[in-house]
Structure 1
Amino acid sequence: MPDHIPLLRADCADCFGLCCVALPFARSADFAHGKPAGKPCANLREDHACGIHTELRPKGYAGCTVYDCFGAGQRVSQVTFGGRDWRTGGKEHARQMFEVFPVVRRLHELLWYLTEALGLDAARPLHPELRRALEQTERLAARQPEELAVLDPAEHWHEVAELLLQASELARKGRRKGRDRRGADLAGAKLKGADLRGVSLRGACLIGADLTGADLRQADLIGADLRGAELTGADLTGALFLTQPQVNAARGGPGTRLPASLVRPAHWAASR
């Protein structure tokens, strides 16, 4: 596992419940109640912990079990704002913290992709450029609160996205077993047992798709929407740019094989 990966995992114990306050969510199948950005969730306790953490799905908060901040929560809480929480720091302090959190989260997601790309032997010719991009992204994430609050990471993302695409093409060269489906609408598609090795599924809509027993080794899944996708028995070892939120949003079982950098969602077992 790349050295940078542990720093990009959510550590709720060191976070001030930022995802439960800073982000808005609407009442839906994923959230039993809605709330605007900046308002604490009704389930957030005074110690910044979730009062229904072990019962989120039964109580109608499946969306919370899907979300992952890539370690941005603890960074903003303990580093960017020096351990001063939004409850005691004053109104302006809280406002700025809530503005900064989604920016750092976006940058941390990019750090995840760059770290993975640097672990690809096939992308070794690009490693110097990837390393520079990672260092630049880290410098952006390390900026002061007032700088982060007005930072739009979109331009930097656009530049790095091209580099990640090149890394993907090098890693998948000679492994492709089907035509690329980049950005394809595959919602509800019947792909049981499909051989998708090395196929680009970048940005593809796979909501509710049946990928039971599918071979997704070396498939590029960056930005693919896997909500409700059936991954029972699927092999995703070596899948490129797959993230924890994507896995959390899908359905899987004991036979689902994941990259070593990801963890098996607890609700997978409960749903079987």
Structure 2
Amino acid sequence: MPVQQPAPGRSLSLTPLREREDLRPDCSNCYALCCTAFGFARSADFAVDKAAGTPCSNLAEDFTCTIHTSLRPRGFTGCTVFDCHGAGQTVSQGYYAGEDWRTHPEVAREMFSTFAAVRQLHEMLWYLAEAVERAFDPDAAGRAEELRDLIGRELVKGPPALGALDLPALHERVRALLLEVSAEVRAGYFAEGQQDAGTDLLPSADLMGRDLRSASLCGADLRGAYLIGADLRGADLAGTDLLGADLRSARLEGADLTRALFLTQPQVNAARGNSNTLLPPVLSRPGHWLDR
């Protein structure tokens, strides 16, 4: 089956808001790639083991989930926090012209590996869009735009070229740019709240279960920090770098994350919050967030 390339003239270098709107999953135009391509081990997030490249046992013939409305109580919390950043529909409809892996098993392996690569590229585009928006230095914003253009050109190539792309090297370039923008933005907050909340608010810090209620964390660098079960109710996270931070079961009721740095939908989905939690306008309030 031939691979269909994206339409001529398609641009991925859009304005930050428009681009991030385009980087949202559209499951109705995807053939359950996330339920098939990736594997997972039985854990608190998944009730069973599943090998990569095999369909989930809960997947229906029409590519819908048979337990979608009860994923959390059935032990599949991991599914509810996953976000492909729009890679599913790009691969299913853009590269494979709406042909699915069941009908064309001969391209299934390539389709799954392409999905994994595109998801990473789309995630980078999500972060770079925010970098362009938040950077004070025009040079940094310009370099972020250049990286977005580079990723856009790679995406247009499609499979099998994406399989040969050096993703780790590209990740490192994006990471370095995000660190630069983060330092610039956080400097404007003078890390004013860290003295009250503790001196160990550092990248990759173990803050599991930490009581940070009503803390001013403005300008803190919590990149990659473990905030599992942390109590952040009423906290102010303006300018707080949350790139890759683990927010599973973190208490965010009443917290202000409207100006937090590099926060993603999966992180929000993994946390606990309510109607008083303030989120950036590009992120959605999860359906399982309930006022108690």
Partner of 1:144: 158
Matched, 1:17 2:38: no
Partner of 1:198: 219
Q: CA deviation at 1:268?
A: 1.1
CA–CA distance in 1 between the matches of 2:135 and 2:202? 24
CA–CA distance in 2 between the matches of 1:254 and 1:9? 22
Aligned pairs for 1:116-155 (under 5 A) are 116-120=130-134, 122-155=136-169
Q: CA deviation at 1:50?
A: 1.2
Partner of 1:267: 288
Partner of 1:184: 205
Q: CA deviation at 1:165?
A: 1.1
CA–CA distance in 2 between the matches of 1:151 and 1:132? 17
Aligned pairs for 1:218-229 (under 5 A) are 218-229=239-250
Question: Contact 1:192–1:211 (CA<8 Å) still a contact in 2?
Answer: yes
Q: CA deviation at 1:226?
A: 0.8
SS in 2 for 1:19: coil
Partner of 1:104: 118
Aligned pairs for 1:237-252 (under 5 A) are 237-252=258-273
- Opposite residue 262 of structure 1, the aligned amino acid is L
- Opposite residue 245 of structure 2, the aligned amino acid is A
Moved over 6 A (4+): none
Matched, 1:37 2:52: yes
Question: Alignment RMSD, CA only?
Answer: 1.5
- Opposite residue 142 of structure 2, the aligned amino acid is P
Partner of 1:115: 129
- Opposite residue 270 of structure 2, the aligned amino acid is A
- Opposite residue 155 of structure 2, the aligned amino acid is A
Unaligned runs of 5+ in 2: 1-15
Partner of 1:216: 237
Render the CA deviation track for 1:133-159: whole Å, top value 9, x for unaligned.
Answer: 111112222322112223341110101
Moved more, 125-134 or 115-124: 115-124
- Opposite residue 33 of structure 1, the aligned amino acid is V
- Identify if the C-alpha distance between structure 1 residues 43 and 132 changes in structure 2 by more than 3 Å, giving closer, same or farther: same
CA–CA distance in 2 between the matches of 1:111 and 1:149? 18
CA–CA distance in 2 between the matches of 1:187 and 1:103? 31
SS in 2 for 1:20: coil
Q: CA deviation at 1:181?
A: 1.4
CA–CA distance in 2 between the matches of 1:142 and 1:196? 40
Matched, 1:86 2:101: yes
Q: How many residues align?
A: 270
Question: Contact 1:123–1:171 (CA<8 Å) still a contact in 2?
Answer: no
Question: Contact 2:135–2:141 (CA<8 Å) still a contact in 1?
Answer: no
Render the CA deviation track for 1:222-269: whole Å, top value 9, x for unaligned.
Answer: 111111111111110110100000111111112111111100000112
Question: Contact 2:225–2:245 (CA<8 Å) still a contact in 1?
Answer: yes
Say which of 52, 55, 67 aligns to 2:70.
55
- Opposite residue 260 of structure 2, the aligned amino acid is A
- Opposite residue 60 of structure 2, the aligned amino acid is R
Matched, 1:70 2:85: yes
Render the CA deviation track for 1:90-145: whole Å, top value 9, x for unaligned.
Answer: 23x00111111111111111000001111125243412111001111122223221
CA–CA distance in 2 between the matches of 1:268 and 1:242? 17
Task: State the TM-score, normalizing by the size of structure 2.
Answer: 0.88
- Opposite residue 26 of structure 1, the aligned amino acid is A
CA–CA distance in 1 between the matches of 2:285 and 2:31? 25
Question: Contact 1:117–1:123 (CA<8 Å) still a contact in 2?
Answer: no
- Opposite residue 158 of structure 2, the aligned amino acid is Q
Question: Contact 2:258–2:280 (CA<8 Å) still a contact in 1?
Answer: yes
